Amino acid sequence: MFKEKIMVEVILAVAFLSFLAFSDAFPLANMIGVNYGRLGNNLPSQYESIEHMKNMKAGRVKLYDANPEILRLLSGTNLHVSIMVPNDQISIVAANQSAANQWVRDNVLSYYPNTMIRYILVGNEVLSNKDDQSLWYDLVPAMRNIKKSIDEHRIHNIKIGTPLAMDMLQTSFPPSSGEFRLDIPRNSLLIPLLRFLNWTKSYFFIDVYPYFSWSQNPSSISLDFALFKGTQIYKDPLSGYVYTNLLDQMLDSVIFAMEKLGFYNIRLAIAETGWPNGGDYDQIGANIYNAATYNRNLVRRLTSQPPIGTPARPGSTIPTFIFSLYDENQKEGPGTERHWGLLQPNGKAIYDIDLTGEISESELSKLPVPKNNGPFHGKLWCVLAKDIVNEKDLGQALEFACKRDGICDELSPEKSCYQPVSIVAHANYAFSSYWAKFRKDGETCHFNGLAVQTTLDPSHGSCKFPYVSL
């Protein structure tokens, strides 16, 4: 009888440990994942991408949709999966329970449990869009409807959340002053959202990028502080907490903002973080060395045993998704937008990283020495990227640039830049002219991926190209 009792206890213990190993509460489960964005026309297949993630020892993968093929390919892997209700489907799901039930049937039940879906994220940075505030009020009802559908199928290990950006804070420094934006309604939106997360024991998912905070204030924030290099400390004058890195400051500002509304126990998860491995000349600190330093130190910190947490939440574990798996060449905006990847489009690592935290500091010595950790000073032109020869795309970009008054005046037959008469030469001039005139209005040297910045003056003969001077 005694032996039988011992055997039962052993079986129960093993079963309990097995359960914990696949739960978010158990530290043996790898806390580090990757964001699998697909805004590129040169990316590896979905099968190859999943193999890359497995080789990198990722513990999680976050999708920006619920792609059927990817979810099928993830079946049988040990990757914990986060899927997303895209922003354009939130109102439909919020409108009635039947729509939410259908979404869950199509995107969860068709794959679960063989595909280890662990998070359903409703929308992406919804509260950052101030132009469509009607969507704000559909957010929590959509989350509730998805949760109700999941519960009806007795699925208890999937958490429902929504990724929000740091711009939802009115103040974030010092961390103890953290407060949500005043234009976000407290009683009708913020409190219902936090109450839902608290009730369901879910996470407050935050997109947090020390790179942006540092690069916008490099004179007041140390680069080492942003890169976890521990050469600087900051003591919050109100809380007394001591900070050794910028990420902890940013995370704690969110915690203080929640506490000001009466929520003290909602866990944090990092939906996106990372550092750009490259960018334009006018974007400081975007280089491989800094990206490798940030992500390696991030992984080492978040996978430490016992967990470190943050000063406001010591010892807490923080599920984290690094942005992103690949450089994505079709993303709009400044050059950094296309250079957050851990991998090149051919699948080769941009720098060595082990998502379990096992990597030597000596590896950093093999990386290129950064040359853009300070502001760029000089002249910049915007010209056609190498090997771009698609005349249809070039023609459309040229037409777009030349629609603005005066941009292409020098390309007229009687003007100095008419020769040579080629679409490439004319595009080079049009790109530089357009960017030089409208950069101050937020325009970038991109043109749907056709253009890049250069320090080489493309002027020829009497044709002088406009430029940006920094």
Q: Could you give the residue numbers annotated as active site?
A: 125, 272
Q: Which amino acid makes up residue 284? A: I
C-alpha–C-alpha distance, residues 407 and 426, integer Å = 11
Dihedral (Cα; 251, 252, 253, 258), 10-degree rounding: 100
C-alpha–C-alpha distance, residues 227 and 225, integer Å = 5
SS (H, E, C) the chain: CHHHHHHHHHHHHHHHHHHHHCCCCCCCCCCEEEECCCCCCCCCCHHHHHHHHHHCCCCEEECCCCCHHHHHHCCCCCCEEEEEECHHHHHHHHHCHHHHHHHHHHHHHCCCCCCCEEEEEECCCHHHCCCCCCCHHHHHHHHHHHHHHHHHCCCCCCEEECEEEHHHEEECCCHHHCEECCCCCHHHHHHHHHHHHHHCCCEEEEECCHHHHHHHCCCCCCHHHHCCCCCCCEECCCCCCEECCHHHHHHHHHHHHHHHCCCCCCEEEEEEECCCCCCCCCCCCCCHHHHHHHHHHHHHHHCCCCCCEECCEECCCCCEEECCCECCCCCCCCHHHHCCCCECCCCCECCCCCCCCCCCHHHHHHCCCCCCCCCCCCEEEEEECCCCCCHHHHHHHHHHHHCCCCCCHHHCCCCCCCCCCCHHHHHHHHHHHHHHHHHHHCCCCCCCCCEEEECCCCCECCECCCCEEC
